[in-house]
């Protein structure tokens, strides 16, 4: 049994009614939140299921990228307020209500969000956990927690700040404003805009492209971008330079450069 078969079978085993998990293409795992009657609002069960799927499947050597999406024409319209309304601080701690966001933050494989419709509150935070965001023309983004008497609690203030800068982040956070996909793209929140209904297709295409890349280099890029973002530039440049040098000890580097010189497609083996 190959690694690919085992990953596909494990993905199927992790799939549930409210969180579908499947290998949509070789090396690509698609995770679909499936609560369309609630616009895919995040409850604790959904968050636990997504966390479990990503944490386990990223360990499989054949898994190279994840696509995160929602069913029924919405991404995630927010957290499930009916479940959250009466939670105490202790319950938040004991039930680890940020488990999904931590799992996505720690994921070593690229994550691509495919956003149709609403990505609000926890849904916007979920998209912000990803490395790329593909949005349809009518997608809407926002952090409206202030309208409920709270603030974003899963990275919304910090990731939004780092994605779009202080002034745009403060406008969204302090007013609860929803912004269009076009505006989100303009301020740097969205990677790419596509026609309505095409976000998942395009996200899958990008994930398949990434899955074909040399995986040691993919992992190095993700690591350097993550850890370099919040350190002084000189430190970040040192991290980049060290990662660059280390890759010259890999077979993928030898193959990539040899293939370039020989004018043929490279065959990467991830070593």
Same domain, 206 and 219: no
Residue with tokens 């999904």: 100
Residue 105 lies in a domain: yes
Question: In the chain, how many domains are there?
Answer: 2
As a whole number of angstroms, the distance between CA 136 and CA 181 comes to 7
Same domain, 63 and 191: yes
* 125 is known as an active-site residue: yes
Same domain, 169 and 190: yes
Residue 265, pLDDT score? 94
Annotated catalytic residue, options 56, 145, 240, 269: 145
Same domain, 198 and 243: no
Residue 80, pLDDT score? 75
The two beta strands, 132-136 and 111-115, are: parallel
Look up the CATH number of the domain holding residue 10. 3.90.226.10
Q: Can you give the residue range of the structural domain that contains 49? A: 3-211
Annotated catalytic residue, options 125, 205, 223, 240: 125
Same domain, 159 and 193: yes
Ranges of beta strands (E only) in 45-153 are 65-70, 111-115, 118-120, 132-136, 140-142
pTM above 0.95, yes or no: no
pLDDT per residue as tens, the chain (271 positions)? 566 668 888 888 998 899 999 999 999 999 999 999 999 999 999 999 999 999 999 999 999 999 999 999 999 998 877 776 666 776 767 565 789 999 999 999 999 999 999 999 999 999 999 999 999 999 999 999 999 999 999 999 999 999 999 999 999 999 999 999 999 999 999 999 999 999 999 999 999 999 999 999 999 999 999 999 989 999 999 999 999 999 999 999 999 999 999 999 999 998 9
Residue 79, pLDDT score? 81
- CA-based nearest residue to 70, from 12, 18, 5: 18
Residue 268 lies in a domain: no
């Amino acid at each position: 049994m190959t690694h690919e078969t085992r990953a596909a079978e494990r993905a199927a085993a992790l799939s549930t009614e409210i969180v579908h998990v499947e290998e949509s293409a070789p090396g690509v795992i698609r995770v679909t939140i499936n609560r369309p009657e609630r616009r895919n609002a995040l409850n604790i069960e959904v968050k636990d299921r997504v966390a479990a799927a990503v944490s386990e499947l990223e360990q499989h050597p054949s898994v190279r990228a994840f696509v995160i999406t929602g069913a029924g024409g919405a991404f995630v319209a927010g957290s499930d307020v009916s479940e959250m309304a009466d939670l105490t601080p202790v319950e938040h701690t004991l039930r680890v209500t940020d488990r999904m966001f931590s799992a996505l933050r720690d994921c070593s494989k690229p994550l691509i969000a495919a956003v149709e419709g609403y990505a609000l509150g926890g849904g916007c935070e979920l998209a912000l956990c990803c490395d790329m965001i593909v949005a349809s023309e009518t997608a809407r983004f926002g952090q409206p927690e202030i309208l409920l008497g709270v603030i974003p609690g899963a990275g919304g203030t910090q990731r939004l700040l780092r994605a779009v800068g202080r002034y745009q982040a403060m406008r969204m956070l302090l007013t609860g404003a929803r912004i269009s996909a076009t505006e989100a793209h303009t301020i740097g929140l969205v990677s790419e805009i596509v026609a309505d209904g095409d976000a998942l297709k395009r996200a899958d295409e990008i994930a398949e492209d990434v899955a074909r890349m040399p995986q040691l280099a993919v992992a190095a890029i993700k690591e350097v971008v993550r850890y370099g973002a919040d350190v002084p530039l000189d430190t970040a440049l040192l991290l980049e330079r060290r990662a660059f040098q280390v890759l010259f000890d890999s077979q993928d580097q030898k193959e990539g450069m040899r293939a370039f010189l020989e004018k043929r497609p490279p065959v990467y083996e991830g070593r």
